Amino acid sequence: MKILLVNKYHFPQGGADRAYLDMADVLTRAGHEVAFFSMQHPKNLPTKWSEYFVSNAEYGDSENLRVFQRLQLAFRILWNREAKRNMERLIQDFRPDIAHLHNIYHQLSPSILSPLRKAGVPVVMTLHDYKLVSPNYNVFVRGNLWEETKNGKYWTCVRDRCVKDSYAKSLVCATEAYLHRFLGSYDSIRAFLSPSRFLIQKFQEFGFKHPIEYLSNPLVPFPENIFEDAPSKDAPFVFIGRLSVEKGVEKILYALKGLDDSYTVRIVGDGPDRARLEALVDKLDVSARVVFRGFLSGLELEWERRSARAILLPSLWYENMPYALTEALGEGAIVIAARRGGIPERVRDGENGFLFDPENPASLVETMHRVQTLDEISLRNIRKSARKSVEDLREEIFVKNIESLYKKCSESY
């Protein structure tokens, strides 16, 4: 089968990008021919399909642009004519049997759907966030959950400055939402997919009219060895992920203030919230017990998981199904995660991990203490249960499910 994979980034920046790249590896190993459509970027992985990629645009830097340049970027968000033209060329040269979309917003835009529809190529789309029901893709504004756009009330985004606390950016994104609802831009998509049932339920609450199928992202590669040895009593608690407000890292620091000096934390990752978090460490006087490790990968990242007392996921936003969670479970790590979004679908409190209430400051403190005092037998049992809980994320299971879906979409087109 000839499969066209589409995503705005062609390098592993976030979960959506990893899902897109992992899917390519999995489908190629299964014998399918894969092509890519994305955006040009210095960090892109090499591919022969890069000649079709659209020119680079990063909207976070727009404050430094002139008014005319900002208007150009705004129109590109609404309808990217270059992306439409390049997609037409790629379809003509590759002639895909099916197209699978991931994150296409802003840098690519729904303009790419028009040539796919015209060419009779069935389209599938994996939903990684809430962009199709909210101009604010993570429904999280200034430190709080934000669900004001239910039933298409996108104007509330401008009222509340829901995009980067900016009236102008909020206006562009609200206009984008109204425009594509009016045009029915996403109506031609044959199947929407979600790696969590929570996201499906939340989309329905927002008034999304299309059915969404549940399909988990695979763990690639699937970890073959789990952590056998229980961590030492002085092992650190470890956070792994992007340092941004919605990830809730500050909850860990406040919890640490309420625990004795035997509790230490290692923070793995980088992001826009790092400077604020480092300042908060000093303010809370816990700098002797917190280490910022920065971005890690490969063996260094694996070592952090293996040496951890527990992996902390204190997310404040409605997580879909984070790789930080499924990877930790797959390796048999102890996980302490917020009872939020899709996380409780994977974590059963006290059985294969632990859940805490992110709105209750004492909840994380109590849960960290609970894990710290577990005996070795209990820890081993939880590790085994953690590994068992993600057996459905094996590559061969995913391939069987996605091939069945592609066949169904192609036959019904």
What would the pLDDT profile of 229-240 be if each residue is shown by its tens digit?
Answer: 667 778 999 999
In the chain, which stretches have pLDDT less than 50? none
* Residue 35 identity: A
Residue 77, pLDDT score: 84
Q: Is the dihedral of CA 273, 278, 280, 284 positive or negative?
A: positive
Two tokens, residue 48 = 């022969």
Residue 66, pLDDT score: 62
- Please, which residues have CB within 8 angstroms of residue 95's CB and are 6 or more apart in sequence? 2
* Closest among 386, 404, 387 to 396, alpha carbons compared: 404
* Residue 28 identity: T
Residue 299, pLDDT score: 87
Residue 225, pLDDT score: 75
Q: Could you give the CA distance from residue 90 to residue 97 in angstroms, rounded to a whole number?
A: 13
**Residue 217 DSSP one-character state:** P
C-beta separation of 84 from 76 below 8 A: no
Asked, as a colleague might, if the bond just before 236 is cis with ω within 30 of 0, I would say no
* Closest among 142, 293, 296, 126 to 200, alpha carbons compared: 126
Residue 273, pLDDT score: 96
C-beta separation of 166 from 74 below 8 A: no
User: Domain 237-392 in CATH: superfamily?
Assistant: Glycogen Phosphorylase B; (3.40.50.2000)
Say whether 202 sits in a helix, a strand or coil: helix
Q: Which residues pair with 36 in a beta bridge?
A: 5
3-state secondary structure labels for all residues of 1-60: CEEEEECCCCCCCCHHHHHHHHHHHHHHHCCCEEEEECECCCCCCCCHHHHHCECCCCHH
Every domain range in the chain assigned CATH 3.40.50.2000: 2-132+186-217+394-411, 237-392
Say whether 124 sits in a helix, a strand or coil: strand
Residue 159, pLDDT score: 97
Two tokens, residue 374 = 């577990």
Taken as a whole, the chain contains a residue count of: 413
CATH number assigned to the domain covering 2-132+186-217+394-411: 3.40.50.2000
Q: Could you give the CA distance from residue 121 to residue 119 in angstroms, rounded to a whole number?
A: 6
